[in-house]
């Protein structure tokens, strides 16, 4: 499930599969309920990665060449494209997590790697988030236990959220 070898998008893995890296954005805020993360709902299905309409998750984006292999750049683009965050000052402390997840061994011809990063939302508390993408809709802030209790979550959601929860006590801003 987890591997320590970092390959760039488009490189071939040891078993000659094309590497595709997806990067999740764990955007956090503090509320009376504790730490909450921004959650989206999938509208478009992608059978290769088991994505079905209605699934909940944190925002994820495929790393592109323009991201120059940077998880932080992919996180920032994810915030713009998936959540409509156009004000860089609204998000602080981008922290890319080194852990890699390989959750799609059945994907023929592809080595799909999932990475994620953590960021802290510091913008206006009443801000509304919206996506320009026709593939997702923004659901809003949710605690991780509430997200994980949902009937329909993306395959990446549980392992990434559990990894995040293990790291949370060690984060200086958490």
pLDDT at 6 over 50: no
The pLDDT, as a whole number, for residue 26 is 98
- Give pLDDT, residue 106: 86
Whether residue 174 has pLDDT greater than 50: no
List domains and CATH numbers for the chain: 18-168 (3.90.79.10)
Instruction: Give the confidence band of 11 by pLDDT, cuts at 50, 70, 90.
Output: low
CA 10 – CA 119 distance, rounded (Å): 26
pTM for the model stands at 0.88
pLDDT in tens, 32-55: 999 999 999 999 999 888 899 999
Q: By the 8 A CB rule, do 61 and 23 touch? A: yes
pLDDT of residue 13: 58
Asked whether 101 and 6 are in contact (CB, 8 A), the reply is no
């Amino acid at each position: 499930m987890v591997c320590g070898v970092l390959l760039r998008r488009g490189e071939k893995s040891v078993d000659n599969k094309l590497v595709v890296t997806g990067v999740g954005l764990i955007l956090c805020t503090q509320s009376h309920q504790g730490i909450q993360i921004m959650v989206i709902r999938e509208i478009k299905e992608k059978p290769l990665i088991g994505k079905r309409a209605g699934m909940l998750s944190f925002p994820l984006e495929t790393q592109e060449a323009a991201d120059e292999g940077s998880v932080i750049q992919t996180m920032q683009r994810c915030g713009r494209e998936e959540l409509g965050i156009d004000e860089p000052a609204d998000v602080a402390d981008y922290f890319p997590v080194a852990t890699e997840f390989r959750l799609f061994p059945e994907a023929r011809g592809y080595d799909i790697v999932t990475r994620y990063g953590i960021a802290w939302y510091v913008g206006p508390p009443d801000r509304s988030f919206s996506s320009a993408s026709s593939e997702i809709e923004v659901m809003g802030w949710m605690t991780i236990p509430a997200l994980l209790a949902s009937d329909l979550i993306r395959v990446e959601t549980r392992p990434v959220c559990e990894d995040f929860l293990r790291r949370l006590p060690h984060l200086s801003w958490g």
